[in-house]
A and B are shown apart, each in its own frame.
Chain A
Amino acid sequence: GAVVSQHPSRVICKSGTSVKIECRSLDFQATTMFWYRQFPKQSLMLMATSNEGSKATYEQGVEKDKFLINHASLTLSTLTVTSAHPEDSSFYICSATARTGELFFGEGSRLTVL
């Protein structure tokens, strides 16, 4: 079974609304979580690195005020897409690193902004 759970798996929202995606490590404490975005037929693009209790580190070109990341505990990171627009429609995937160094991916969240 999945060791990293993402919720929701699919979400449809109206333009201008905000959407929150959760990423949970189910049976381990994640020292680091990563957020990726994947557009159709393209590679996963790293958006940000999230460390528990500290501010996320964003990749170049990713707006930190638009994509809010909170990593309040060792088992939960959230990505909030604020004021979503149709161009934000994408597949968002998180990954989590265990203390052993193993990396696990969430199942992904498909966002559609109308």
Chain B
Amino acid sequence: RKEVEQDPGPFNVPEGATVAFNCTYSNSASQSFFWYRQDCRKEPKLLMSVYSSGNEDGRFTAQLNRASQYISLLIRDSKLSDSATYLCVVSRMDSSYKLIFGSGTRLLVRP
């Protein structure tokens, strides 16, 4: 079983739609959680950290459920520029800087 699992998609949505991605992690000792965005053939870029209380950044809302070991990302009012692969990332207990990446969920926003 992968340490971080995501639905690979693709999610194909119209502009303006709301879309949600889910992610589960297997290591209950994981400490930190993030969503990264990766454009085709580019390096990943941090989208947002995920906190237990849930957090929002503009059109993006992230949630963490430690009991279920589940992380989500909600994107409201999708833009064409949101088309990318969204990577769920957790850090291991043994090093706060060692990141474990999910395989990503691909989002396609159409006009």
Question: Measuring CB to CB, which residues of chain A are less than 8 angstroms from any residue of chain B?
Answer: 32, 34, 36, 41-46, 49, 91, 93, 95, 97, 101, 103, 105-108, 110
Contact = CB atoms under 8 A, between A and B. Distances in A.
B98 A49 contact: yes
B103 interface: yes
Contacts of B18: none
Interface of B: 4, 8, 41-46, 87, 95-104
A89 to B, nearest CB: 14
A110 B44 contact: no
B11 to A, nearest CB: 15
Contacts of A41: 8, 103
A21 to B, nearest CB: 13
Given A93-B43, A105-B43, A106-B43, A32 B97 contact: yes
A105 B103 contact: no
Contacts of B101: 36, 43-45
B100 A46 contact: yes
A96 B103 CA distance: 21
Contact of B95 (A45, A49, A95, A108): A49
Contact of A42 (B41, B45, B97, B103): B103
A105 B87 contact: no
A110 B97 contact: no
Given A34-B97, A101-B96, A110 B41 contact: yes
